[in-house]
Amino acid sequence: MKKLLLLLLLSLCCISSTNAAVPEFTGQNTIVDFCKKINCHDQLKEFYKQYYFSQTFSKALVISYYKSGNEYINDYFGYSFKEKNTAEAKNKAMRMCKKHGKKCELLLLNNKIQNKELYELLTKTTSSSSYITTSSSSNKIPANAHADGNSWTCNTDYYRNSSLKGCLKVPANASSSWSSNYWSCNSGYKKKNGNSCVTTSSSYITSSSSSNKIPANAHADGNSWTCNTNYYRNSSLKGCLKVPANAYSSWSSNYWSCNAGYKKKNGNSCVTTIPSNAYASGDGWKCKSGYYQNNNYCTRLPSNAIARSNGDGFYCKTDYRKSTTQNKCVKKLYIPSNAYASGDGWKCNSGYYKSSSSCIKLPTYAAAAVKDGWKCNSGYYKSGSRCIKLPTYAIATSYGDGFLCKSGYTKSENYCIDVPDNAYASGSSWKCNSGFIQSGNSCVTVTNIADNTFEVKFWDSIEDSEDPEEFRIYLEEFPEGKFVKLAELRIEKLGDTSGTVAQESTPIPDLDYGIYHALVIGNDRYRHLPPLSNAVNDANDVASLLRSKYGFNVDVLTNTTRDAIVSKLSELRTQISSKDNLLVYYAGHGVLDEDMGEGFWLPVDAVDDNPVNWISNSTIVNSVRAMKAKHVMVVADSCFSGTLTRGIKIRELSSDYLKEIVEKKSRTVLTSGGLEPVSDVGGGDNSVFAAAFMRILNENTGVMDGHQFFTTLRKEVMTNSKQTPQYGDIRMAGHDGGDFLFVRQ
């Protein structure tokens, strides 16, 4: 007897579970570890890691499983997340699992393992020393048992007897544990004589109106009872009946419903419901060829698609992909850079427009067209590959580039002008016809020549001139002017002869003129302002002339920004010595701030009504003042450039005049107009000013000072336009009586 007891203890010691304690809460790898011990559905692990674990509450995971030989198989699962409460989460997950699952049980609720016994059941393992079946042992697997690793385990509804060598039937109203080594009475029952279960006194309904006991296949529920899982109440509500095959009971166990794809028959069974275009297969059905399962229906397969053999849906053949609507297969296509798939084709990303088979970045202030191409936003018009702000009183054309002026306005270059009677458009403004004078916003007949401010300004500009030609121009423009007699007197005193440029230019004395440098700037492709026509042509032509015929070292900046211009001026400051000469030529937009009384150059990045990228006269003056150069001339062919100058009284030439001004410092400016708009056309491919500027330099054969140059240029410009060039020293920039010299090479 003692020997038998010792063997029993030894064998009990050998039956030790190798499982670790079941975790309380889930982690990212919980299902991965779970699936190392159970044959999981091929999508369960990936779904848990990518979707379930990261989702917010309330959520649930239900699994379906069955036993095959020595292992458990997970054949399906149901899930839910972001539900209103845990009850809804459980119900939704359970309904999903029961569509195709064999036996569905709740495993996880939120991030907690809800059914620890189920987790232990499905993941249990035993040590290799448990019931050894090696050649050293001749024990066989007993009846009502099955192999389990190197040992055996009792079948469901059986448990091991006291000798641990056989399996006995679990009594009625009892259940075996997951290890099948013992049994326990169901709720509402207690053991009797160690081999049966009888009801306890608490298993009766305690209400005074009833003395019924808890029926079979039920358990106490408060002061009443509820049917066990997979049972439901019969019509008298006094007993529990088995749920039919292919059906499931509700959470309250008081009724049952057929699984998806089945329908009730005779009120006590579920038979297959075969949808259209399907056929019976085993306990269920399958879709016919050319169809795929879509929930409880069979839907016709799209072209170039293959139905999935398990579950809903279809996949596309090689070289095809699902459309974004997921209901057909379309040919895989080339999607260019900066694009994305859309329906059967592709669309460009935001900020790009479609051009044939590529996506190109949209210009500033533009939007992609419905098909190919682009269009400018409201308030802008198309000019080549750019969108430019519409001038006041303008409308963008609905076709091609450009704009139209509203009714009552006249297009003048890149402006829409309200031109009064007896006037004509000129640049961004207008001028009165001959015989009329501006009075407010209209042109009136000249009744008092003394009121003609243009005549007075002109006379003030030539009053001290030593050139009779300028007084002859006055007589041509104002034959009945206020200063006619004075002009005739000046012509008489100065002599009635007019020389050509070649006559005015002086032969080249042997003097140290220094090295000549030039910075030539031309802007016409403005980003936010109307474009100009000839500014870049002017800059390139002037630069070529200065290099080839006057030996200048020339830097050219075209369609450039404020930073580039200011940086280049700063760079020249470090390169030019006190014996050198610098000419800065600017062609582009200009603007006058009347409140500040200051003019500005406008680079291509300038924005209307925002001076952040404008270049003020004071910036130019400061740059010139800081230059070490002996002679500096700024030439400005832009609107309102006259604010840079003040008048110079030019003295009569003496025999040693050139020698004297070579040594003296000069800071002068030559502008294409005064405080007025100027034109960038009128000289063929150049502005009227640039054309005159280059013609005079081309005809010069010797040394020409700035004043000689200006005298000839002003006559030509005034003859061919309504603008009056000006020449003088740059205010507060260090002018010391010298003058800029053009020395022909």
DSSP 233-295: E-TTSSSEEEPPTTEEE-TTSS-EEEPTTEEEETTTEEEE-PPTTEEEETTEEEEPTTEEEET
Domains of the chain: 30-123 (no CATH), 278-331 (no CATH), 506-743 (3.40.50.1460)
Size of the chain in residues: 745
- pLDDT bin (cut points 50, 70, 90) of residue 261 is low
- pLDDT bin (cut points 50, 70, 90) of residue 555 is very high
Percentage of residues in the chain with pLDDT exceeding 70? 81
H/E run at residue 548: helix 535-550
**Residue located via tokens 């440029």:** 501
| β-pair partners for 231 | 242
Question: What are the tokens at 622?
Answer: 């400061």
Q: How much is the pLDDT for 435?
A: 67
Amino acid at residue number 309:
S
Contacts 24+ apart (CB under 8 A), 299-302: 302/327, 302/328, 302/329
Q: How much is the pLDDT for 641?
A: 57
For residue 245, give every residue at least 6 positions away whose Cβ sits within 8 Å of its Cβ, in sequence order, or none: 269, 270, 283
Q: Is the pLDDT of residue 364 over 70?
A: yes
For 589-603, b/e burial (b = at least 16 CB within 10 A) is bbbbeeeeebbbbbb
Q: How much is the pLDDT for 551?
A: 93
Q: How much is the pLDDT for 181?
A: 62
- pLDDT bin (cut points 50, 70, 90) of residue 253 is low
Question: What is the per-residue DSSP string for 71-133?
Answer: EEEEEEEEEE-S-SSHHHHHHHHHHHHHTT-SSEEEEEETTEE--HHHHHHHH--B-TTTT--
CB neighbours of residue 563 within 10 Å: 11
DSSP state of 213: B
- pLDDT bin (cut points 50, 70, 90) of residue 136 is very low
Report the range out of 108-117, 152-161, 283-292, 549-558 with the highest average pLDDT.
549-558
Q: Find the helix packing angle between 706-720 and 468-477, rounded to 10°.
A: 20
CB 666 within 8 A of CB 738: yes
Q: Is the pLDDT of residue 539 over 90?
A: yes
pLDDT tens for residues 396-435?
Answer: 887 778 898 888 888 888 888 888 888 888 777 778 876 6
Question: What are the tokens at 640?
Answer: 């309102």
Q: How much is the pLDDT for 562?
A: 92
Percentage of residues in the chain with pLDDT exceeding 90? 15
CB 613 within 8 A of CB 566: no
Q: How much is the pLDDT for 544?
A: 92
Tell me how far apart the alpha carbons of residues 88 and 721 are, in angstroms, rounded to a whole number.
87
Q: Where are the alpha helices (DSSP H) in 554-684?
A: 562-575, 617-626, 657-663
Q: Could you tell me the CA-to-CA distances from 385 to 361, 365, 526, 605 in Å, in that order?
A: 11, 11, 12, 16
SS3 571: helix
- According to DSSP, the β-strands at 60-68 and 71-80 are antiparallel
Q: How much is the pLDDT for 542?
A: 94
Compute the average pLDDT of residues 551-563. 93
Tell me how far apart the alpha carbons of residues 153 and 7 are, in angstroms, rounded to a whole number.
20
Q: How much is the pLDDT for 129?
A: 33
Q: Find the helix packing angle between 468-477 and 453-462, rounded to 10°.
A: 170
Between 178-187, 201-210, 451-460, 469-478, the lowest mean confidence (pLDDT) is in: 201-210
**Cα 361 → chain centroid:** 11
Q: Is the pLDDT of residue 581 over 90?
A: yes
Q: How much is the pLDDT for 651?
A: 43
Amino acid at residue number 261:
G
Phi and psi (nearest 5°) for 455?
-65, -40
Q: Is the pLDDT of residue 337 over 80?
A: yes
Compute the average pLDDT of residues 577-596. 86
Q: How much is the pLDDT for 237?
A: 66
Q: Is the pLDDT of residue 54 over 80?
A: no
CB 648 within 8 A of CB 710: no
Q: Is the pLDDT of residue 127 over 50?
A: no
DSSP state of 447: S
Q: Is the pLDDT of residue 573 over 80?
A: yes
- Position with higher pLDDT, 6 vs 171: 171
Q: How much is the pLDDT for 676?
A: 56
The chain-wide mean pLDDT, for the chain, equals 78
pTM of this structure:
0.39
pLDDT tens for residues 700-743?
Answer: 988 888 888 988 888 888 877 777 788 888 777 778 778 899 99
Q: Is the pLDDT of residue 506 over 70?
A: no
pLDDT tens for residues 512-534?
Answer: 889 999 999 999 999 888 888 88
CB neighbours of residue 682 within 10 Å: 18
- pLDDT bin (cut points 50, 70, 90) of residue 650 is very low
Q: How much is the pLDDT for 180?
A: 54
CA gyration radius, the chain: 51
- According to DSSP, the β-strands at 703-705 and 682-683 are unpaired
